[in-house]
């Protein structure tokens, strides 16, 4: 599954290129709790088709009702929306919050852009496909759009004159190892909007890969990490339990800006990995601080699908800037509970 921003922009572009009227709704402010964060987008076509979301569904229903009636052009309906962007608030009163599916007292504000120019949409989509991070600046006076390269992701900004939203390329995940756990983790990453690459030089693993939509490569993992050119929207995870494949790849990964670098393994396996890297690769405890392991959150899982859930949960928490409680760390939770170690060669559980 593609990055949600790209899905919304592609649908909007297709509608506009086909000559259809359409709008782009962006969540620009929230007060209290809200179902979707600031920056979330939704595209609405004149025929009522919707891609993306700005709430749990009720606000989408209201927008469809209001603007498809307007697009129908009946005299008693709202005027055909066009021209400069408009702000629209939902949930100001408690009864409205309940009506629109917002938590009690929650309020959100949308910016509605009418009939965005197809050429500007095509340019932004091309930039994102090329891996560029972009600022999209929208003039509140006339809806004109300016695209500028962005150095890093930034929160949405609304001033008296413009809206600035940052759009980034897809998040990427590189998995070292094409075993069963990798298949479950890759599947979860795909439906969370990651582009997934799996590296495994072992034909017996690579040849049975069965998850569509994943790029599978056969080169040595450390070479693949170098070619992957990980950035702050990338994560790299080693799943083979084989030091010959994992160690050099992880060392290369630690030299990148990847937001998450980790390896599967038991507590003993993780300690042994750190010792090898310190003794043979001139690493230090400080240089290995970014290397996560045992990866995942502690949910008592032992099967590949459950372990994949625990790993994906930790990846998403790090991606979203959430600090997890220490008692959810695998090593700390097991040590604290007195769970016996499995030995350096054992397959891990989480």
Dihedral, 325, 331, 335, 338 alpha carbons, nearest 10: 110
Q: What is the pLDDT of residues 209-258, one digit of tens each?
A: 989 999 999 999 999 999 999 988 899 999 998 999 999 999 999 999 99
Q: Which residue did the predictor score with more confidence, 76 or 167?
A: 167
pLDDT at position 130 over 70: yes
* C-alpha angle 326-184-330 in degrees, rounded to nearest 5: 15
Confirm if 333 and 313 have CB atoms less than 8 A apart: no
Return the ∠ at Cα 35 (arms to 29 and 40), rounded to 5°.
55
User: Strand pairing of 234-238 and 260-263?
Assistant: parallel
Residue 99: predicted pLDDT: 65
pTM for this predicted structure: 0.73
pLDDT at 345 over 50: no
Q: What is the pLDDT of residues 21-65, one digit of tens each?
A: 999 999 999 877 666 789 999 999 988 899 998 887 778 888 888
């Amino acid at each position: 599954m593609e990055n949600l921003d790209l899905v919304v922009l592609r649908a909007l572009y297709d509608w506009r290129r086909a000559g259809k009227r359409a709008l782009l709704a962006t969540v620009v402010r929230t007060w209290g709790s809200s179902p979707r964060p600031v920056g979330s987008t939704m595209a609405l076509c004149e025929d009522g088709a919707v891609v993306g979301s700005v709430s749990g569904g009720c606000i989408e229903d209201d927008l469809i009702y209001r603007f498809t009636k307007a697009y129908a052009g009946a005299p008693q309906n709202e005027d055909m929306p066009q021209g400069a962007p408009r702000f629209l608030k939902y949930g100001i009163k408690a009864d409205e919050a309940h009506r629109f599916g917002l938590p009690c007292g929650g309020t959100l504000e949308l910016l509605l852009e009418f009939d965005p120019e197809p050429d500007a949409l095509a340019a932004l989509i091309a930039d994102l496909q090329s891996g560029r991070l972009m600022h999209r600046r929208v003039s509140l006076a006339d809806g004109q759009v300016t695209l500028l390269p962005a150095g890093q992701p930034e929160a949405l900004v609304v001033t008296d004159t413009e809206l600035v939203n940052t759009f980034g390329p897809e998040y990427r995940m590189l998995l070292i190892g094409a075993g069963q756990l990798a298949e479950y983790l890759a599947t979860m990453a795909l439906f969370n909007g990651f582009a997934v690459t799996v590296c495994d030089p072992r034909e017996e693993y690579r040849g049975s890969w069965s998850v569509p939509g994943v790029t599978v490569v056969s080169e040595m993992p450390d070479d693949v990490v170098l070619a992957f050119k990980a950035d702050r929207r990338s994560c790299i995870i080693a799943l083979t339990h084989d030091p010959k494949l994992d160690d050099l790849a992880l060392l290369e990964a630690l030299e990148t800006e990847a937001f998450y670098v980790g390896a599967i393994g038991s507590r003993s396996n993780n300690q042994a990995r750190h010792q090898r890297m310190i003794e043979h690769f001139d690493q230090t405890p400080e240089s290995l601080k970014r290397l996560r392991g045992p990866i995942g959150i502690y949910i008592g899982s032992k099967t590949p699908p459950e372990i994949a859930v625990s790993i994906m949960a930790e990846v998403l928490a790090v991606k979203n800037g959430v600090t997890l409680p220490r008692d959810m760390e695998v090593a700390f939770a097991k040590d604290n509970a007195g769970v016996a170690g499995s030995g350096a060669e054992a397959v891990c559980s989480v």
